[in-house]
Structure 1
Amino acid sequence: MNWTLSNKITAMRIILVPVFVLAFYLPAPLSYYASGLIFAIAGWSDWFDGYLARTRGEETAFGRFLDPVADKLLVTVALVLLVEAGFASTILVLIIISREIIIGALREWLAERAVVVHVSQMGKWKTLTQMFAIEGLLLHQDFFGFPMHEAGTGFLWLATFLSVWSGYEYLKGALPEFRRG
C-alpha cells in the first residue's frame, strides 16, 4: 500500500471522526463552534486530498477505496448526532443515509463486474449541499446575525432532494447491468 500525502489526509479525516464526536458533546455553545470547526476542516480536507491526488498523480486504488469510506463515515456520524440532538429531521437523514448505502452497494456490485462508475456532477452537488447543511446545523445558532440553523435546514432539504436525484441517475445508469443479470 502506498501512503501518499492524499491518502494520509484521507486517513486523518477518519481519525477526526471520534474527535468530532467528543467536540459535539462539549457544553453548548462551545460544542457548536468546536464541532463545526472540526467538521469544516474534515470537509475541506476531502476536497484537498482529491485535488492533491489528481494534480500530483497520486491516485491509488487504496485512495479510491478509502476516500468514500471517510466521507460516508463523517457525514453519517454527523447526521446521526444532529438527529439525536433534535437539530435535524429524522426522515430527511434516513433518506440521505439510505441513498448512501444503496449507491455504495451498487458501486461495489458494478466494480465486481468491471464497470467503472464515475462520480456524477449531481453527486458532487449533493455532497456540497450536505456539507453546508451539516455545518449550518452544527453551528445551530445565529452567526454574526445569520440564522445558521435555518440555513442548515434549508440545505438539508436540498441535499435530500439531490440525494434522491443523483441516486436515481446512478440507478438509471446501471440499468443495462441489471438487465444483464
Structure 2
Amino acid sequence: MRINLPTWLTIFRVALLPVMVVVYYLPFHGHNITAAIVFVLAAITDWFDGYLARRLNLTSAFGAFLDPVADKLMVAVTLFLLVESHRGGWPGIVMAVTAAVIVGREISISALREWMANIGMRATIKVAFIGKLKTVMQMIALVVLIVQHDAEALRLYHVGEVLLVIAGVLTIWSGLHYLRAAWPMLRDAEPLEDSVERDA
C-alpha cells in the first residue's frame, strides 16, 4: 500500500498528540503556549490534508479511514488532558461533564454513520454547517484551555470553560441534527443480521 501526502499529514497529526501531552507537562516557562502551538499545528494539518486530497485527487481508503480517527483522537486526548488538570471544584465538574458530552457525541455519531453506511444511506447524514461550527468552536475552546493552564487572567474569568460549554451545546445540537436526519431509517429499518449476532 502506497501512502500519499494527505495520509502522511494525517499520520503526522496523530504523532503530534503525544508531543503535545509531553510538552504540556514539562516544567519550563511557556510550556502551555508551546503545547497550544503544537495543537494548532495539528489542527492545521486537519484542514490541509483534506484540501490536498480534494485538490490533487489524492484520496485513498486508508486515508478516508484514518482522517476521522485522527480528528477524534485529537479532541479526546486533549479533553482528557485538560480534565486531569482541572480536577476539583465547579470548574472541574463542568469540564468533566462537558468533555463526557463531547466524547459521547463523537462515539455516538461515529456509530450512527457506520450503521448508515451498512444500509447504504451514509450520504443522508453528511456534514452540515452546524457540525462545522461545532468543530471550530471546539478547537478555539481547546486552544484557550491549553493556554489558560498558566494564564492567570484567563483562569480568573474561566474563559476556556465558557467556550467549551458553548462547544458542548453546539455538539448536542449538531448530534440531534444528524439523529433527526437518520431517524426515519432508525425507526423503520430491520435490524442488521450481524448486529443481532453481535449483541446476542
Q: Same fold (TM over 0.5)?
A: yes
The Cα shift of 1:110 comes to 1.1
Matched residue type, 1:83: V
Aligned mate of 1:147, from 151, 154, 163: 154
Higher mean C-alpha deviation, range 50-59 or range 128-137: 50-59
Q: Deviations over 1:68-100 (max 9, x none)?
A: 100100110000110100076111111111101
Query: Counterparts of 1:74 and 1:54 in 2: how far apart (Å)?
Result: 22
User: Aligned letter for 1:69?
Assistant: V
Aligned-residue offset at 1:113: 1.4
Q: Could you tell me which amino acid in structure 1 is paired with residue 110 of structure 2?
A: G
**Structure 1 match to 2:189:** 180
Match of 1:158 in 2: 166
Letter in 2 for 1:101: I
- Is the counterpart of residue 170 in structure 1 residue 181 in structure 2? no
Q: Secondary structure at the match of 1:147?
A: helix
Between the aligned partners of 1:39 and 1:157, the Cα distance in structure 2 is 20
1:40 aligns with 2:40: yes
146-155 or 49-58, larger mean C-alpha shift: 146-155
Residue 28 of structure 1 deviates from its aligned partner by: 5.7
The 3 A distance-change label for structure 1 pair 28 and 176 is farther
Paired with 2:63 and 2:129, the residues of 1 have a C-alpha distance of: 20
What is the alpha-carbon distance in structure 1 between the residues aligned to residue 50 and residue 102 of structure 2? 23
* TM-fit CA distance, 1:168: 0.3
The answer to which of 150-159 and 128-137 deviates more is: 150-159
Question: Following superposition of structure 1 onto structure 2, how do residues 1-16 of structure 1 map, counting pairs within 5 Å?
Answer: 1-16=1-16
TM-score, length of structure 2 as denominator length: 0.83
Residue number in structure 1 paired with 2:24? 24
Find the aligned partners of 1:34 and 1:3 in 2 and give their Cα distance: 29
Aligned-residue CA RMSD (Å): 1.9
The answer as to 2:104 corresponding to 1:98 is yes
Post-superposition, which runs of at least 4 consecutive aligned residues in structure 1 deviate over 4 A? Answer: none
Instruction: Work out the CA distance in 2 between the residues paired with 1:28 and 1:126.
Output: 33
Once the two structures are TM-superposed, the CA of residue 156 in structure 1 deviates from its matched residue by: 0.5
Pairing of 1:49-60 with structure 2 (within 5 A): 49-60=49-60
Shift of 1:108: 1.0
**What's the CA shift for 1:122?**
1.0
Supply the AA of the counterpart residue of 1:160.
G
Cα distance in 2 between the residues matched to 1:61 and 1:115: 18
Give the 3 Å change call, closer, same or farther, for CA 164–57 of structure 1 in structure 2: same
| CA displacement at 1:40 relative to structure 2 | 0.6
Measured after TM superposition, the shift of residue 157 of structure 1 is 1.2
Kindly name which structure, 1 or 2, has the bigger radius of gyration based on alpha carbons. Answer: 2
1:131-150 Cα distance to aligned partner (Å, 9 max, x none): 0000000001449xx73773
Identity of aligned residues (%): 40
Confirm or deny that 1:109 pairs with 2:109: no
Segments of structure 1 that go 5 or more residues without pairing to the other structure are none
TM-score (norm 1): 0.91
